[in-house]
Structure 1
């Protein structure tokens, strides 16, 4: 550690609980606070914290930490209890809120024991309402009401972080003072960070620290995304079968969306940028780019033993560019006093030795035999989960491909069976005029579908079998023909609405008008009718093609 690093003003003593790699500790240290100890159960994160912050970093299960082992005369307590249980509790109901509260209770127990002047705790946004509810009479946290806990949701992009990162910050600090920093921070963008890390020497976009390019670590660019990987990423972001669309690639002229702890080559969560200034090649971010967007200086080193460990370290951290401001708040910095991250970082240097190199993931050449394919047909998709999709599903010894239709809400997902019975129902209720309009398109896609090798499509998709029709090739055909059919049906919107109602009533009975989302289907009747006709016409053919190629009896046209 440089001498100028050691001479930072340290008049306030703090401890960092659930410290991870030391995001709180690093920011508070720059704010002139003496972080005398930190506590974390994950060894690699603790090593990272110790080497970057040069203070006592204890590897310990905080739930079992004895209060008698804590240092005395502590002015500030900070920390980030694990958010896993709270995150999952809002995504599928698999989280255990009661277990997550155990860490918050332990954090507050330590605050109550040490009686610091100020304390602050960071977590995911949904924790705010949980804390507020549990502080009420009869709640799990009611006995801590005297600690003066207030919860606030902040977007760290408003405080100069080049990332839209919403978090709950709870504590007894002055939120008004924190908000006063907003107007004094210069906004950075994803493009600013990428450009800064591409120079030689490299000048940190947030801290102003300078390094020769050959000393910059964790900046190895992985292989560009293959055409298939780029296609999947684009589809996951722009035409996801459930969630609303997001841009692809990620725009450079604004802050980046939230950096996460996991990141695969084909993921809706992955930040994807162009590889180079031109062309249609794309890549994911390097570890260093992710770390800079997360508010770490280019000198900060991550002592993980694998690429995945370092992703987790960076994504789970609290950004030190933000905790520096929190440190200023916790020591009572006035609204007009200097707040200069670059000045505070003067003298900060790389710790040693450097961590082991951890190469990123390689392009996959083979995938599991049961690799899933499930993508919305772009021209037959509406927002809020209303979509027609082409998908596969394993059934005993074969993989079945089908077009399916979903509507309703996230809490009540409904569907219609797209089969020969529905096709007959729609054609029987259709006027001769509309029948002639749709006949040409339906006949054309039926002819094409009769040439597709659905038996080997799964082998092609898992990169295991002989050449054949790729599922994305078939999806593209559905998209193109769907767009054409919608355009032909649109002039007949009244009849299309009646036919959509007919299909819904046949499946759900006379009370179909009470189903969620029906008005949306009626407003978009040409699109819905086109999708129903395509799916009901093609699913039986796909079924027969698969059965004929396997020499088996026809399958049911419904996928449960």
Structure 2
């Protein structure tokens, strides 16, 4: 590695890397001139990746059982990223086993307390900020005995420090945070487009962060997945643009800003998946390649990933810490001032492809078949009202067959309720002369829709959904029901006398309240504003749920 300029006042700092993963800490430190004496990790694929890129011979180790006496001496910097799974809000809705996760935090602090390095730094998910703060302030907490370490703690967005992705993580350290934050003003922002376009530019690839250049043939992990098709494309778009509870996302992901967080696990139909318009195939959309994911995490184009599959490589990259940020921490620990920062390319010119090149792992494709009990759930287009309120079509797979039903959900996202669509509302509506006449006149449309459905069956619909047979799929049924409800809504609006509007609104609120106190119905305003559309959805939903079309399932059961 080339020597760094003498005016940086870089010393021969010795460091160890705990929970090292694939080397996000080690790479950033080494490119800053830090000597990483040893790294510790338990997951074999991550160790293989670490060894290949750094020429090491690490073996898996259970860090929780690591003997403090076996640690190297004269360590001036301890860094690491204890497993975040139990602390992450994405793990079982934030209900991970906190006490289990604390074991790794305790071990990290034990190592720091034992070695007494000049500096140390830990990275984890944002939730850990409060875990550490509360733990070190509570005499009954397992972290209380480490309060003398007096960490500075804050949450950083790594996109502000060189990574082309918005990734918020907690940093606990004894390095002054003001110094680390100061580097943000001297880092050039990078975008998703910078990464994607650099890898599709032509014969030579220039790393958008580290500046290293390679012939396109020497850049690994550039294989693209097949483009999203049909149901996959729709599910991705709906999950991002029309999610019933969460905020909308752009689809496809915009190239002119930092990417969303690269995750360790996602599928071809995941809301979390980053989906781009394919720069080489107009009108097609795809997920990211392994190399694009790595670039968003700040790994240079020279880095190799030794996973046994596409999914395993995606997992190791998604779990890593960007070496762009660890590089800045290493500089701060060595006394480099933010204004002395020369840019990542100043260190990146020393990068080379390691002797061992990672084997090719074919990207994922659309599944040929899916599990027989594959779940389906989709909101009816035009009948989703945000904040959890929507009509949807879903399946219930039982031993005797599959039941399909339309449901209506309403209420705030933390208290979503449901109206049973069992025919009672439609029977009640027929007591109104003008609604009864309108519903009678709508029978022809319902009959046409039923003729469409008899071309399949509840079990046939499930067979199509699991790709075991061709035929009508559940999204086609969803769209048919939405179109039916939209037509009924148009007729209601056309026939609705202005004086009947408040009566419809009051009726829907009464149905939703279930006989309880109406004044405590949080979603009342939204129910009132959408009363005519909700009535149309209920009528169509109750019609569908009561069809003899379902008898196949009932007979089999």
User: Taking structure 2 as the reference length, what is the TM-score of the superposition?
Assistant: 0.91
Distance 1:102 1:519, change over 3 A: same
Pairwise CA distance, 1:437? 6.0
Q: Does 1:159 align with 2:161?
A: yes
* Pairing of 1:8-19 with structure 2 (within 5 A): 11-19=12-20
In structure 2, C-alpha distance between the alignment counterparts of 1:210 and 1:190, rounded to whole Å: 19
Pairwise CA distance, 1:530? 2.7
Pairwise CA distance, 1:531? 2.0
**Secondary structure, counterpart of 1:444 in structure 2:** helix
Q: Does 1:533 align with 2:539?
A: yes
**Secondary structure, counterpart of 2:171 in structure 1:** strand
Which residue number corresponds to residue 558 of structure 1? Answer: none
Pairs aligned (count): 545
Pairwise CA distance, 1:486? 4.4
In structure 2, C-alpha distance between the alignment counterparts of 1:551 and 1:174, rounded to whole Å: 68
Pairwise CA distance, 1:52? 1.7
Contact 1:37 1:58 (8 Å CA) reproduced: no
Distance 1:280 1:11, change over 3 A: same
Distance 1:483 1:159, change over 3 A: farther
Contact 2:87 2:94 (8 Å CA) reproduced: no
Runs of at least 5 residues in structure 1 that lack an aligned partner in the other structure: 556-560
Q: Higher mean Cα deviation, 205-214 or 256-265?
A: 256-265
Q: Does 1:104 align with 2:105?
A: yes
Distance 1:527 1:366, change over 3 A: same
Among 288, 303, 307, the alignment partner of 1:304 is: 307
Q: Higher mean Cα deviation, 316-325 or 90-99?
A: 90-99
Contact 1:154 1:169 (8 Å CA) reproduced: yes
Q: Higher mean Cα deviation, 314-323 or 277-286?
A: 277-286
Contact 2:409 2:419 (8 Å CA) reproduced: yes
Which residue number corresponds to residue 517 of structure 2? Answer: 511
Which residue number corresponds to residue 497 of structure 1? Answer: 505
Q: Does 1:355 align with 2:363?
A: no
Pairwise CA distance, 1:76? 1.1
Runs of at least 5 residues in structure 2 that lack an aligned partner in the other structure: none
* Pairing of 1:249-260 with structure 2 (within 5 A): 249-260=252-263
CA RMSD of aligned residues (A): 2.5
* Pairing of 1:222-237 with structure 2 (within 5 A): 222-237=225-240
Q: Higher mean Cα deviation, 83-92 or 300-309?
A: 83-92
Q: Does 1:121 align with 2:125?
A: no
Distance 1:412 1:305, change over 3 A: same
User: Taking structure 1 as the reference length, what is the TM-score of the superposition?
Assistant: 0.91
Distance 1:268 1:440, change over 3 A: farther
Distance 1:418 1:208, change over 3 A: same
Pairwise CA distance, 1:400? 0.6
Which residue number corresponds to residue 40 of structure 1? Answer: 41
Contact 1:203 1:209 (8 Å CA) reproduced: yes
In structure 2, C-alpha distance between the alignment counterparts of 1:442 and 1:122, rounded to whole Å: 62
**Secondary structure, counterpart of 2:546 in structure 1:** helix
Among 205, 210, 214, the alignment partner of 2:208 is: 205
Residues 364-390 of structure 1, C-alpha deviation per residue, up to 9 Å, x if partnerless? 121222221101112111222111111
**Secondary structure, counterpart of 1:263 in structure 2:** coil
**Secondary structure, counterpart of 1:365 in structure 2:** coil
In structure 1, C-alpha distance between the alignment counterparts of 2:553 and 2:420, rounded to whole Å: 24
In structure 1, C-alpha distance between the alignment counterparts of 2:553 and 2:99, rounded to whole Å: 51
Among 462, 468, 486, the alignment partner of 1:464 is: 468
Pairwise CA distance, 1:524? 3.1
In structure 2, C-alpha distance between the alignment counterparts of 1:108 and 1:188, rounded to whole Å: 34
In structure 2, C-alpha distance between the alignment counterparts of 1:410 and 1:123, rounded to whole Å: 28
**Secondary structure, counterpart of 1:364 in structure 2:** coil
Which residue number corresponds to residue 62 of structure 1? Answer: 63
Q: Higher mean Cα deviation, 234-243 or 223-232?
A: 234-243
Q: Higher mean Cα deviation, 485-494 or 251-260?
A: 485-494
Q: Does 1:130 align with 2:134?
A: no
**Secondary structure, counterpart of 1:552 in structure 2:** helix
